[in-house]
């Protein structure tokens, strides 16, 4: 059973840096990409970025200048940092598994397991 | 960027009804489409992947279909636990979700 507990600070002031971590238990850590996705209150879902176990990352162009996703493969954990936050960054942030990485290096698939979500509020 | 246009944005229906939700992609996405169900306060749950493959444990009243740029999620006979918000996701070129369809009890 794959589980993705996540944690991090839930209340930030404008201009601060958001920091969240997600741990992976069960399943293969090296066999997937690992993503961060967010959802503003009452709104839809937005993909933020992803990492594989080696630290190869891909980011949503709309957030790329402020996002860093890092990995600690020795602990099966990955983390999100989002700098210079504003009220517009207030959202529930989820970590998720997917896509699968095949032996050839090709990756394919959607998000099958999700963390429980962390509400991050940005307010002065 | 690939845009996903989901309709309707909200839908009222009764237990036992059949409902259909549609997602249109701004360009062809092959079979790289999934459907998710989200209940208040919970993370999204994947129902269907690769357009029509049912996630393990998901009831067979959920079916997905479509190709190219137009895709549908059909719930054949609504149950009380199906009232939730549904999202499509394309993963052909990075990842884009539809805007969501809130399914409410009539």
Q: Do A114 and B91 touch (CB under 8 A)?
A: no
- Determine the pLDDT at residue B88: 98
> Does the pLDDT value for residue A110 go beyond 90?
yes
Q: What is the pLDDT of residues B8-18, one digit of tens each?
A: 999 999 999 99
pLDDT of residue A104: 85
> What secondary structure does DSSP assign to A16-73, as a single string?
--EEEEEE-BSS-STTEEEEEEEE-TTS--EEEEEE-TT--EEE-TTTTTTEEEEEET
Q: What is the mean pLDDT of chain A?
A: 96
By the 8 A CB rule, do A79 and A93 touch?
no
Selected residue of A36, A110, A113 to mutate for chain B interface (largest B Cβ count, 10 A) = A110
Question: How high is the pLDDT of residue B15?
Answer: 97
- Average pLDDT of span B45-59: 97
Tell me the per-residue pLDDT of A16-40, one tens digit each, with 9 for 90 and over: 999 999 999 999 999 999 999 999 9
Q: What is the mean pLDDT of residues B36-44?
A: 98
User: For A58-88, how does the pLDDT look when each residue is reduced to its tens digit (9 = 90+)?
Assistant: 999 999 999 999 999 999 999 999 999 999 9
Give the A:B interface size as CB pairs under 8 Å. Answer: 49
* Alpha-carbon distance A55 to nearest alpha carbon in chain B (angstroms): 17
pLDDT at B34: 98
Name the β-bridge partners of A67. A82
Q: How many residues does chain A have?
A: 124
**Site from B47, B95, B99, B101 to mutate, A interface, most A CB atoms within 10 angstroms:** B95
Under an 8 A CB cutoff, do A47 and B44 touch?
A: no
Closest-CA distance, B49 to chain A, in angstroms, reads 7
| pLDDT tens digits for range A38-52 | 999 999 999 999 999
């Amino acid at each position: 059973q794959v589980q993705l507990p996540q944690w991090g600070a839930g209340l930030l002031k404008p201009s601060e840096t958001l920091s969240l971590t997600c741990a992976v238990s069960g399943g293969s850590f090296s066999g997937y990409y690992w993503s961060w996705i967010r959802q503003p209150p009452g709104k839809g879902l937005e993909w933020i970025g992803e990492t594989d176990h080696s630290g190869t990352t891909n980011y949503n162009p709309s957030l790329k200048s402020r996002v860093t996703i890092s990995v600690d493969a020795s602990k099966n954990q990955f983390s999100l940092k989002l700098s210079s936050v504003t009220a517009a960054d207030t959202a529930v942030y989820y970590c998720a598994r997917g896509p699968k990485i095949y032996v050839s290096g090709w990756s394919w698939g959607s998000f099958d397991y999700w963390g429980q979500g962390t509400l991050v509020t940005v307010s002065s | 960027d690939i845009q996903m246009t989901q309709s309707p944005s909200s839908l009222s229906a009764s237990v036992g009804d059949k409902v259909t939700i549609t997602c249109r992609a701004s360009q062809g996405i092959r079979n790289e489409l999934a459907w998710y169900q989200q209940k208040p306060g919970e993370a999204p749950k994947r129902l269907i992947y690769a357009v029509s493959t049912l996630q393990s444990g998901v009831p067979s009243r959920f079916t997905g279909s479509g190709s190219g740029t137009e895709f549908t999620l059909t719930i054949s006979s609504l149950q009380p636990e199906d009232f939730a918000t549904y999202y499509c996701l394309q993963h052909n070129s990075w990842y884009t979700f539809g805007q969501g369809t809130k399914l409410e009890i009539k």
